Amino acid sequence: MPATPSSAPDKSSLLINVYDGTRKPLADGTDVLYRIIDGNQKQLFVQDENFSSLSLKVPFYDNFGDNYNVIVFSDGYKQAGFTPVKLAPSIPTSLDLMLIPKDGHPNFAMAPWDFIKTKLPFLASGVSDADGKSRYEDLMEQRPLALAALLNITTAMSQIQLPQGTPLDYLKSIRWDESLAQDRFFAYCDPQLLEQVRTAAAHGEFAAEIGPGFFHPGATGSWKQVQFGEANVQLTFHENDTALIDGLPCIEVEPDIDYYKDVLAHALLEAFPNALTGGLTNPDIVYVLRWIAGRHAGNPEFNPPYIIE
pLDDT digits (tens, 9 = 90+) for 32-47: 999 999 999 999 999 9
Q: Rounded to 5 degrees, what are φ and ψ at 62?
A: 65, 35
Q: Is the pLDDT of residue 274 over 90?
A: no
Q: Is the pLDDT of residue 266 over 60?
A: no
Q: What is the pLDDT of residue 279?
A: 54
Q: What CATH architecture is 11-99?
A: Sandwich (2.60)
Q: For residues 308 and 238, what is the distance between their CA atoms, to the nearest angstrom?
A: 33
For residues 66-74, average pLDDT: 95
CA 102 to chain centre: 19
Q: What is the pLDDT of residue 259?
A: 87
Q: For residues 303 and 22, what is the distance between their CA atoms, to the nearest angstrom?
A: 10
Q: Is the pLDDT of residue 269 over 50?
A: no
Q: What is the largest CA-CA distance in the chain?
A: 88
Q: For residues 194 and 189, what is the distance between their CA atoms, to the nearest angstrom?
A: 9
- CB-based contact 4:43 (threshold 8 Å): no
Domain ranges in the chain are 11-99, 106-308
Give 278's pLDDT tier (boundaries 50, 70, 90).
Answer: very low
Radius of gyration over every alpha carbon of the chain, rounded to an integer in angstroms: 22
The pLDDT tens digits of the residues spanning 227-257 come to 998 899 999 999 999 999 999 999 999 999 9
More confident residue, 83 or 242: 242
Sign, CA torsion 197/200/201/206: negative
Cβ atoms < 10 Å from Cβ of 143: 16
> How far, in Å, are 159, 190, 221, 251 from residue 198 at the CA level?
18, 14, 10, 15
Q: Is the pLDDT of residue 277 over 70?
A: no
Q: What is the pLDDT of residue 13?
A: 96
Give 67's pLDDT tier (boundaries 50, 70, 90).
Answer: very high
DSSP character at residue 89: S
DSSP character at residue 6: P
- pTM listed for this prediction: 0.90
Q: Is the pLDDT of residue 273 over 50?
A: no
Give 276's pLDDT tier (boundaries 50, 70, 90).
Answer: very low
Rounded to the nearest integer, the mean pLDDT of the chain is: 90
Q: Which of 131-140, 246-255, 269-278 has the lowest mean pLDDT?
A: 269-278
CA 288 to chain centre: 7
The pLDDT tens digits of the residues spanning 149-163 come to 999 999 999 999 999
Q: Is the pLDDT of residue 4 over 70?
A: no
